[in-house]
Structure 1
Amino acid sequence: MNSKRKLLLFISFVLALTLIKHHFRIKKHLQKISLCWDHEAKEPRLSDWFNPKKRPDVITTTDWLAPVIWEETYNRQVLEKYYKRLNITIGLVVWATGKFTGQNLKQFIQSANKHFMIGYKVIFYIFMDDFSKLPPIELGPLRTFKLLYVFKGKMWEDFNILHMKNLNMYIIQHIEHEVDFLFSMSINQIFKSSFGVETLGKSVAQLHAWWYFENVKNFPYERRFKSAAFIPFGKGDFYYHSAIFGGTPHEVLTLTEEYQKGVIHDTENELSSTYECHLNKYFFINKPTKLLSPEYNWDPIFRTPPQIKHVKIAWQSTGI
């Protein structure tokens, strides 16, 4: 009996030892996989994909060290390798309200389908106040669209206020759970070439083509000190275009909230400043982490200077 018991104990010990060795072997293997994954999934450093020296003719880095994206400054392949592994989804909000529906929306979506974030999952969020004006929409693979109704507000509110209130509401309701990055764009522009992952960032602002080559002292900032959009003379960095802004859903949500606070403040003080002035004040206080050069929103009515090498989006001046 004792010999059998000893034999059983010995066998149990050997099995336990084998299981322990097997456990640590698996654990070590998983640690190697984890290290490998962490190495490849690690976000590239700015210097890995951005080379400001390639464009000495323009401003490529801000005073707060944010990149300004111009043609030739970025290596999209480095970013593609990173973002493909993350399996990201990008949202694009477009406002198709009032007279800007039908053909305007069709042209915008068709051009975005061809050039916006090719190879990635994209959700087009189409904000409308009349779904009957939706044109036929055909999208490529990985692309879907959602119709979102624009709820009207108070009688005095203009469409910019309505847009920001509705965007705020829908981000909270579901958009923030559906996408990793979000852009909001005016409908009266056409994509002309690839708008890719080099534009992604925590907070993204678009430099205004009309004012980029002007002196900062001439920028049409709000100069009335009682306005929430007030920027003093001698202050300011760039003039940003309201046609495009983006970032993470959380950052876009914060922008919409601050804009509404600014409008309420001005209303209480019997003031009215433009949507774009409030946007510029927001980015003056909350510096964007990435700036898009005028190549990403160029107005073709202007003579194209040599600095504009590759137009990504053409602005339609007759629009909003």
Structure 2
Amino acid sequence: MHLLNVKFVTVILLLILLGVLYSYIFRAYRIVVSFEQKDKIPVDRAHDSSLVVPDQPAPHADFRAHDSSLVVPDHLQYEQPSIVKGNDVVTVTPWLAPVVWEGTFNPVLLDSIYRPKNITIAATVFAVGKYIMFLRNFLETAEQHFFVGFRVHVYVFTDQPKEVPMVKMAAGRQLMVRSVPSSKRWQEISARRMEMIQTLIEEKLFKSTDYIFCLDVDSKFHGRWGTESLGRLVAVVHPGYYRDKRSRFPYERRPASRAYIAPEEGDFYYCGGAFGGLLQEVHLLTKTCRANFEADAQEDIEAAWQEESHLNRYMWTNKPSKVLSPEYLWQDFKAKNPEIQIIRFSGVVKNYAEIRPNV
């Protein structure tokens, strides 16, 4: 009788143990599934009633949501930030994003961290009309300095595909040409860049690319541009305005425009000729800027600097996670300021009357 009781108790304990294990495994499975489903849920970015926030990416563009996005309340006022202080440089923004200057990073360390990740970086460049003359210099210097040793895919948008130069590229680096229509207005070419980059991401890049940088063709590389520039959302401070008061920034100042920023608002003036980040973040940026530009156009409004104005409006509310100093897009006609130790990328000197169709 005593033996039967022992067996009975043993069976009961085994059943309880099996029940606990089943509950634990099933609960863990539910947690994993819930996180996988959460990753597929688009982040609600409808933060500003004055902006057109487009629908989230199409179902095939399975981007991961990033909770680290820094979205601030619209029209929040605070002291203007700066990337210089006297003769010193500032290396962090008020929202704690790094500001990248020469001497603030170890290139060997960063490359050794990112190389095992086997990342792919896309770069877009527009060579339309007479701007095709700058393409060879851009491509050749990119081979020397832009993410050297990493897999890079350069996408050239041009209305003259037969004029694209044949440039020898290192292993793992490719050049792709996408035909676009010509235009009689350089402003239209500028404005449509957001639309074309958005379409490229949706049609071509969403399964194969980790980061993307959108760069001006009338520029060239002089020094390293590499893994130190990677981030969720990356902006470059414009070399012409980083010492100015923000009331002097060439933001769009008409309240009727969706690119509007008031004189007492804004952080920095960012370049339209160089920006980037994670693919899904740049997709949202381009989609939002395109939607706002098109909404403005329906009301016969064109922002002061087209896509650059809308980019600055977006970056004011959606803070970049990394800010690149003017080293990353200097202007060749300017002498170097004392804080500029190296010029990595610069806009070349040109005659706009010769290259822009409607100047």
TM-score (norm. length: structure 1): 0.78
The answer to whether 1:268 aligns with 2:320 is no
Q: 4+ residue stretches of structure 1 with deviation over 4 A?
A: none
Q: Aligned match of 1:230 in 255, 260, 271?
A: 260
**Partner in structure 1 of residue 287 of structure 2:** 257
Which digits, 9 at most, give the CA deviation of each residue in 1:17-56, with x for residues without a partner? xxxxxxxxxxxxxxxxxxxxxxxxxxxxxxxxxxx9xx98
Root-mean-square deviation (Å): 2.2
Taking a change above 3 Å as real, the CA distance of residues 156 and 87 of structure 1, as seen in their structure-2 partners, is: closer
Which digits, 9 at most, give the CA deviation of each residue in 1:220-258, with x for residues without a partner? 111111110011121110000111010111111111111
**Partner in structure 2 of residue 307 of structure 1:** 339
Which digits, 9 at most, give the CA deviation of each residue in 1:53-108, with x for residues without a partner? xx98112111110011000011222221221110111111111111111x411110
Identity of aligned residues (%): 34
**Partner in structure 2 of residue 110 of structure 1:** 140
Q: Aligned match of 1:243 in 263, 270, 273?
A: 273
The structure where helix makes up a greater share of residues is: 1
Taking a change above 3 Å as real, the CA distance of residues 179 and 214 of structure 1, as seen in their structure-2 partners, is: same
Distance 1:65 1:317 in 2: 35
Which digits, 9 at most, give the CA deviation of each residue in 1:244-278, with x for residues without a partner? 01011111111111111211221222211022111
**Partner in structure 2 of residue 78 of structure 1:** 109
Q: Aligned match of 2:348 in 310, 316, 319?
A: 316
Which digits, 9 at most, give the CA deviation of each residue in 1:93-147, with x for residues without a partner? 111111111x411110000011000111111111112211112221122211111
- What is the count of residue pairs matched by the alignment? 266
**Partner in structure 1 of residue 127 of structure 2:** 96
Higher RCO by CA contacts (8 Å cutoff, separation 6 or greater)? 2
1:1-320 → structure 2 map (5 Å cutoff): 57-101=88-132, 103-150=133-180, 158-273=188-303, 274-275=305-306, 276-318=308-350
Q: CA deviation at 1:166?
A: 1.6
Name structure 2 gaps, 5 residues minimum: 1-82
Q: CA deviation at 1:177?
A: 1.8
Distance 1:173 1:302 in 2: 39
Contact 1:150 1:162 in 2 (8 A): no
Contact 2:246 2:263 in 1 (8 A): no
Distance 1:243 1:191 in 2: 13
| More moved, 76-85 vs 210-219 | 76-85
Which digits, 9 at most, give the CA deviation of each residue in 1:165-195, with x for residues without a partner? 1211111011122211100101011100111
Distance 1:177 1:73 in 2: 32
TM-score (norm. length: structure 2): 0.70
SS at match of 2:207: helix
Taking a change above 3 Å as real, the CA distance of residues 287 and 114 of structure 1, as seen in their structure-2 partners, is: same
